[in-house]
């Protein structure tokens, strides 16, 4: 069931070959290992995407694509995993990361830097400048918290996908086996 779901929602290599922005990756984009739909490839791809989605505030997708190319895991899953951080989840993720880092470094919670995150900015460069100001103000606790959240999130996603995938396969096997037993019983009558 999990395999069928991912095959239905993820693009295929033919689609990627037709995209001009992916043509920059050259012949490596056609590597079939980047498009496999199996437990390991999907779990690793999502873990890579979640890692960079939580750790890095900018250039998440290019970094996830590069690591997916190196690890030969599912490329679309790696890109999809980066969407864990978005405008709705950005502030809670960074606030949690700061609190985790401050607790581990035994520092007092100074959340005055969150006011910088709440300020309204115009344009991409102004938003980027504000983010860097906020990150600099938060310093070590934020960096440590982001690293722990990214690593923990990636491991959790890998484990969850593996568990759900194996559970789905076992369920299908039990149903197939029960169906064969039912047919055997019907034929034997």
CA 74: distance to chain centroid?
A: 11
Pull the structure tokens for residue 116.
């910088």
Domain that holds residue 180: 2-91+140-188
Measured CA to CA, the distance from residue 43 to residue 2 in angstroms comes to: 11
Task: Report the pLDDT value the prediction gives residue 98, as an integer from 0 to 100.
Answer: 83
Q: Which of 26, 22, 24, 153 is nearest to 75 (CA)?
A: 22
Task: Report the pLDDT value the prediction gives residue 176, as an integer from 0 to 100.
Answer: 83
For the CA atoms of 52, 124, 15, 68, the dihedral, rounded to the nearest 10 degrees, stands at -20
Q: Assess if residue 183 is contained within a domain.
A: yes
Q: Assess if residue 184 is contained within a domain.
A: yes
Q: Assess if residue 36 is contained within a domain.
A: yes
Q: Assess if residue 50 is contained within a domain.
A: yes
Helix spans in the chain (H): 2-9, 13-18, 39-55, 60-71, 75-81, 90-104, 114-118, 123-188
Q: Which of 84, 189, 102, 83 is nearest to 145 (CA)?
A: 102
Q: Assess if residue 118 is contained within a domain.
A: no
Q: Assess if residue 111 is contained within a domain.
A: no
Radius of gyration, CA atoms only, the chain: 22
Q: What pLDDT digit, counting tens, does each position of 108-118 carry?
A: 766 665 555 55
Pull the structure tokens for residue 32.
């079939």
Exposure b/e, 136-148, CB count within 10 A at least 16 = b: ebbbebbebbbbb
Total domains, the chain? 1
Confirm if 43 and 157 have CB atoms less than 8 A apart.
Answer: yes
Task: Report the pLDDT value the prediction gives residue 186, as an integer from 0 to 100.
Answer: 63
Measured CA to CA, the distance from residue 61 to residue 156 in angstroms comes to: 20
**Tens place of pLDDT per residue across the chain (189 aa):** 566 777 776 766 666 666 676 666 666 777 777 888 888 999 999 999 999 999 887 888 889 988 998 998 998 899 999 999 888 888 788 888 888 888 888 877 666 655 555 554 445 566 667 767 776 667 788 888 889 999 999 999 999 999 998 898 888 888 888 877 666 666 655
Task: Report the pLDDT value the prediction gives residue 152, as an integer from 0 to 100.
Answer: 93
Q: Assess if residue 122 is contained within a domain.
A: no
Measured CA to CA, the distance from residue 153 to residue 170 in angstroms comes to: 25
Half-sphere exposure of 46 (CA within 13 A, CB side): 19
Q: Is the pTM of this model over 0.85?
A: no
Q: Coil, helix or strand for 121?
A: coil
Q: What pLDDT digit, counting tens, does each position of 70-94 carry?
A: 998 998 899 999 999 888 888 788 8
Q: Assess if residue 121 is contained within a domain.
A: no
């Amino acid at each position: 069931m999990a395999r069928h779901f991912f095959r239905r929602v993820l693009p295929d290599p033919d689609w990627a070959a037709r995209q001009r922005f992916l043509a920059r990756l050259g012949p490596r984009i056609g590597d079939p290992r980047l498009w496999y739909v199996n437990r390991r490839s999907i779990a690793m791809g999502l873990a890579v995407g979640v890692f960079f989605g939580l750790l890095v505030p900018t250039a998440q997708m290019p970094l996830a694509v590069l690591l997916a190319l190196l690890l030969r895991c599912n490329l679309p899953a790696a890109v999809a995993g980066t969407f864990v951080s978005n405008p709705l989840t950005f502030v809670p993720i960074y606030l949690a990361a700061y609190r985790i880092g401050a607790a581990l470094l035994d520092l007092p919670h100074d959340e005055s830097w969150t006011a910088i995150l709440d300020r309204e900015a115009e344009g991409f460069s102004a938003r980027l400048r504000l983010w860097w100001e906020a990150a600099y103000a938060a310093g070590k606790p934020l960096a440590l918290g982001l690293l722990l959240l990214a690593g923990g999130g990636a491991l959790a996603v890998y484990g969850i996908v593996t568990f759900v995938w194996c559970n789905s396969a076992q369920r299908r096997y039990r149903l197939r086996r029960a169906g064969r037993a039912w047919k055997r019983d019907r034929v034997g009558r």
